[in-house]
């Protein structure tokens, strides 16, 4: 029989790392979470204070099998480690996880578009190379990053962390906590710009702050095709980092030569460190040409061979709501659903239209987009929504359905023959799902997570179950 795995943390280790005191007995923790509904037997429950006080849920956590709790005041139900501030204690525990395993090669990823998918693609490559660890979901903020660090077993060889932001000053502290050996900025665009007085320039500086966590000899990986390349490059040089670039020009360390989409994927031709590679992807979006190069450079920096990276990329499927492709059968035939409902911004919208334009359509079918509001664009929101009319026209999109007050600006800007249905909310649009599509159509659903584009995607998927006899 295999030997049992050592605990992730003992009570004594947690107390030492956080400066807390053990009350109610010692314990071993096999995992940790701040969500009492996600507790598994043997987990440490983190009583964080947010919109609700986590201490109120400690009892439920113990009933679900929590081994102990990290708290600011003693609670009933099981042993605790009492600390002055649970958020700071979580950060200290993350730092302790990092320091107790100096052999682990760590990478960090940020960017206005693609950071979650790129992070998970890197994780796929790390898994092929040996025991690895990574962020789950979009755990990329002041809670998610230290939580991911604190969950990192000392036995793994490599790890990758996603780092995000909503406002100035958030990325640098998280990167300094991770202390990555390599850090990547996928791209910079008009995302979260309402939080920055100088708009996209502020976003670029904030994304560049990821390089502040690099130590001596660390590698900064930068999108050389991005308009904010100089800002990113100078920030990397300022901290003494080495720089590797990816892009479409001959001088880049990883150069995209060709990207050919096909049904269910794409073929990429690229030159990496002077060697030409041709490899398949299960992603068909044009932005995955450059994304794949970012993945290869990051994996190379974490001591994963290029051949292993190419294998991982060839097997990596689109994440939920980030380019999943489904065939939905309805009376008279079927339509293709491209689910991009998890998030959206002007950059990813334009990339999506370009990818949709490259897909062949059956005779009688149409290229259809179903769009909900892009959020956090501040006083530029109206212009950025209306401005999507140009790439829609350029991509020869046949029909545009839209939901939300901001998308009304786009709806009014597009040519009348392209106008489909507009509704005040995504829920209202979802109620009209049967009227949005027809047999042979290729349909992309895209919008910010907060504007509920996923409701429309789910309603379109349900058409198969609701309308096909015997389904």
pLDDT of amino acid 3: 63
Q: What is the pTM of this model?
A: 0.86
pLDDT of amino acid 339: 93
pLDDT of amino acid 66: 97
pLDDT of amino acid 467: 52
CB neighbour list of residue 274: distance below 8 Å, 6 or more residues apart: none
Find tokens 């350029």 and name the residue: 394
For the chain, which residues score pLDDT lower than 50? 468-471
pLDDT in tens, 218-241: 999 999 999 999 999 999 999 999
Calpha distance 173→93 (Å, rounded)? 15
Mean pLDDT across the chain: 94
Sheet harboring 265-272: ordered strands across? 132-134, 158-162, 105-110, 182-185, 219-223, 242-247, 254-262, 265-272, 275-281
Calpha distance 287→350 (Å, rounded)? 10
CB neighbour list of residue 248: distance below 8 Å, 6 or more residues apart: 225, 255, 256, 290
Angle at 264 between CA 259 and CA 265, to 5 degrees: 25
| Residues 174/189, Cβ–Cβ less than 8 Å | no
pLDDT of amino acid 261: 87
pLDDT of amino acid 471: 37
């Amino acid at each position: 029989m295999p030997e049992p795995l050592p605990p992730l943390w003992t009570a004594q280790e947690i107390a030492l790392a956080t400066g807390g005191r053990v009350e109610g007995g010692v314990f071993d923790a096999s995992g940790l979470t701040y969500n009492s509904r996600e507790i598994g037997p043997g987990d440490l429950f983190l009583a964080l204070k947010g919109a609700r006080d986590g201490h109120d849920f400690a009892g439920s956590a113990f009933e679900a099998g929590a081994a102990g709790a990290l708290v600011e005041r003693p609670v009933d139900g099981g042993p605790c480690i009492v600390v002055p501030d649970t958020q700071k204690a979580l950060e200290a525990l993350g730092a302790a996880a990092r320091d107790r395993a100096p052999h682990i090669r760590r990478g960090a990823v940020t960017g206005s578009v693609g950071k979650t998918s790129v992070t998970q693609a890197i994780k796929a490559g790390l898994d092929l190379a040996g025991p690895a660890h990574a962020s789950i979901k979009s755990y990329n903020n002041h809670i998610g990053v230290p939580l991911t660090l604190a969950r990192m077993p000392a036995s793994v060889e490599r790890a990758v962390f996603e780092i995000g932001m909503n406002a100035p000053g958030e990325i640098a502290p998280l990167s300094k906590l991770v202390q990555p050996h390599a850090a990547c900025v996928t791209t910079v665009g008009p995302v979260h710009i309402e939080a920055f007085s100088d708009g996209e320039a502020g976003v670029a500086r904030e994304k560049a702050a990821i390089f502040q966590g690099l130590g001596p000899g660390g590698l900064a990986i930068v999108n050389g095709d991005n308009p904010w390349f100089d800002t990113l490059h100078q920030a990397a040089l300022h901290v003494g980092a080495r720089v590797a670039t990816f892009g479409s020009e001959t001088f880049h360390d990883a150069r995209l030569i060709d990207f050919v989409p096909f049904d269910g994927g794409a073929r990429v031709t690229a030159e990496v460190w002077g060697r030409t590679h041709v490899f398949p992807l299960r992603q068909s979006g044009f932005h995955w040409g450059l994304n794949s190069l970012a993945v290869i450079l990051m994996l190379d920096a974490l001591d994963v061979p290029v051949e292993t990276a190419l294998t991982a990329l060839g097997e990596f499927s689109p994440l939920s709501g980030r380019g999943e492709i489904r065939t939905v059968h309805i009376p008279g035939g079927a339509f293709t659903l491209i689910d991009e409902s998890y998030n959206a911004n002007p950059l990813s919208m334009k990339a999506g239209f370009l990818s949709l334009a490259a897909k062949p359509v059956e005779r009688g079918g149409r290229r259809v987009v179903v769009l909900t509001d892009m959020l956090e664009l501040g006083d530029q929101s109206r212009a950025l929504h209306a401005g999507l009319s140009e790439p829609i026209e350029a991509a020869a999109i046949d029909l545009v359905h839209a939901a939300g007050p901001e998308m009304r600006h786009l709806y009014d800007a597009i040519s009348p023959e392209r106008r489909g249905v507009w509704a005040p909310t995504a829920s209202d649009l979802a109620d009209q799902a049967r009227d949005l599509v027809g047999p042979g159509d290729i349909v992309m659903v895209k919008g910010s997570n907060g504007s509920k584009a996923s409701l429309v995607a789910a309603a379109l998927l349900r058409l198969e179950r609701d309308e096909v006899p015997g389904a």
